[in-house]
Structure 1
Amino acid sequence: MTSASELRSGKGDRDENFPVASWIIHPRHRALILAYYNFVRTADDIADHATLPGDQKLAYLDLLEAELLGKGDTQAEAVVLRRALAEAGMAPRHALDVLIAFRMDVTKLRYENWDEVIHYCRYSAMPVGRFMLDVHGESTSTWAASDPLCAALQINNHLQDCGKDFRELNRVYLPRDALAASGASVEQLGLAQSPPAMLACLQSLAVRNEALLDEGRSLTAEIRDFRLGIDVAVIQAYADRIVRLLKVRDPLRERVHLNKFELLTFSLAGMIGEVGRRAIGRKAISRPGTAHDA
């Protein structure tokens, strides 16, 4: 088999909607975080590969899992992460979880309702937040706030890329029942501009995702590590801005991403807000109770 590295899309940590192992994070954690990111990025690129047959995608994902668990040394991303986790005394559970999501990407092209999308996010996004918290030695009690934040980041991405996902992969994360409620159809995702029904669907999902973001708003106050708290505050600021854009823009017609000025502006806003909150010892924001499977 070709090395999984050769199937990478070329997308890297600087192309994400959130900072990966940014300068805010303590240097002692960055190698492990980047090893995890490169493993996840490689698996994601395999699942999204435009020409690789589905059975071969699944075979590569199985190979990455096997080598992560110590059965071979041919796939660099799996070997590097395995060694980094061993050095840190961490289990591979959060890397194994994301592989479940990428297998779903290969085999499941449609989602019936919001709950199915959240179930996908349980494996595609929530493990990333849980991993970061574990790296920093945070309590697992923080997962309850991290999970909805991570799911909302994932759904922001689904809304941003809904046209591309449909055109290039025939993959639709927009729930069928939401499309039906707005009178929209899957085929409209192939258009250059959203018809009114599709735009209504997309913007209603953005509103629902904004509420999901609010569920995770207490996370920074629950995190003990100062640097990680600042990093999460920046991510939350990015996500808040993107979801506000998705509520008023058409992702089929325009690219809904932050420009360099916005990235700087919302980075500073997130950092200053969190430093100020910690300086005055403001309490955690109360949030509605949520249940995500552990």
Structure 2
Amino acid sequence: MSGAAELASGKGHKDENFPVASRLVRPELRPAILAFYRFARAADDVADHATAAPERKLAQLDGLEAGLRGERGASPEAEALHAVLRARGLPDRHPLDLLEAFRRDVTQRRYADWAELMDYCRYSAAPVGRFVLDLHGEDRHCWPANDALCAALQVINHLQDCGKDRRALDRVYLPLDALAAEGIGVEALDAPRAEPPLRKAIAGLAGRTEELLARSRPLAGQIADRRLSLEVGVIQSLAESLVVRLQRRDPLSERVHHRAPEALALALRGGAAALLARLRPARSLEA
């Protein structure tokens, strides 16, 4: 196997837990978002490959960086994103930050505490939202709320997939101090269902994620682009529902993901909330 394509999982943007370049986004911007997604997916597949050696993974990530910087023949996904960045006058900061996170995935399998996990999310999650905001020409005053939302989405995925990550890659994103506080270690994730101490640890981490979502709630109202604001409102609503489920359900043995009708109802609620958030400043001025 000679390239990142050989390590591909076959997953696409429709397989993700949250919307990626949905029809709410302006049509002319969707191809750029999908180019960013495909670059991120290629890097994620490399980092998460179950059998490739760490040295090979790091070499493939270096190849993605080379393509991102304009080297021909290094990676079609990276070359495509490089072309998008040049055409739109955008910096390569955000995809380069993502590569830092994927390199950490190769070399780091444990996180000591919440602060260390949040530092990881600064590279693995925040750049995605920042890229989309920059693409839309949004003001960077949106970044703090964006970073909180993106970190929350990342942790939600970690909590939902905690058993699978442990089994497939021996990678545990649940902070070790949160497990130790309940008198358990990472071995608790090996059970077919979570025992009460692990359930308590997961619920506690979901509670901390709820705090992130409280900080991200103003984001939809801060965004100037109406369509992007609606998409963010939808994502916020889906995420808020999932953290409640993670405080009540066992991700090792129970379904946490939304079924299609549930997701649609939450999406409508989130879109309506975003519209109301956009109307409030206008109403305040009229008053």
TM-score range, shorter chain: over 0.9
Counterparts of 2:146 and 2:283 in 1: how far apart (Å)?
17
Q: Give the secondary structure class of the aligned counterpart of 2:49.
A: coil
Flag the 1:274–1:2 CA change in 2: closer, same or farther, 3 A. same
Residue of structure 2 equivalent to 1:229: 229
Residue type matched to 1:13 in 2?
H
Deviations 1:157-178 (A, max 9, x none): 0000000000000000011110
Instruction: Report whether the alignment pairs 1:218 with 2:218.
Output: yes
Instruction: Report whether the alignment pairs 1:144 with 2:144.
Output: yes
Aligned length: 284
Greater percentage in helix: 2
Counterparts of 2:15 and 2:59 in 1: how far apart (Å)?
27
Residue of structure 2 equivalent to 1:134: 134
C-alpha displacement of 1:204: 0.8
C-alpha displacement of 1:283: 8.8
CA contact (8 A) 2:63 2:74 kept: no
List structure 1 segments (4+ residues) > 4 angstroms apart after TM superposition.
Answer: none
Counterparts of 2:259 and 2:40 in 1: how far apart (Å)?
25
Q: Give the secondary structure class of the aligned counterpart of 1:209.
A: helix
Residue of structure 1 equivalent to 2:239: 239
Counterparts of 2:24 and 2:266 in 1: how far apart (Å)?
14
Identity %: 51
Counterparts of 2:6 and 2:57 in 1: how far apart (Å)?
13
Q: Give the secondary structure class of the aligned counterpart of 2:71.
A: coil
TM-score by length of 2: 0.96
Instruction: Report whether the alignment pairs 1:191 with 2:191.
Output: yes
Residue type matched to 1:199 in 2?
R
Deviations 1:89-132 (A, max 9, x none): 11111000000000000000001000000000000000001111
Counterparts of 2:249 and 2:27 in 1: how far apart (Å)?
38
C-alpha displacement of 1:70: 1.2
Q: Give the secondary structure class of the aligned counterpart of 1:251.
A: coil
Correspondence list, 1:1-294, <5 A: 2-281=2-281
TM-score by length of 1: 0.94
CA contact (8 A) 2:220 2:277 kept: no
CA contact (8 A) 1:221 1:283 kept: no
Counterparts of 1:59 and 1:239 in 2: how far apart (Å)?
34
Counterparts of 1:218 and 1:283 in 2: how far apart (Å)?
17
Residue type matched to 2:162 in 1?
C
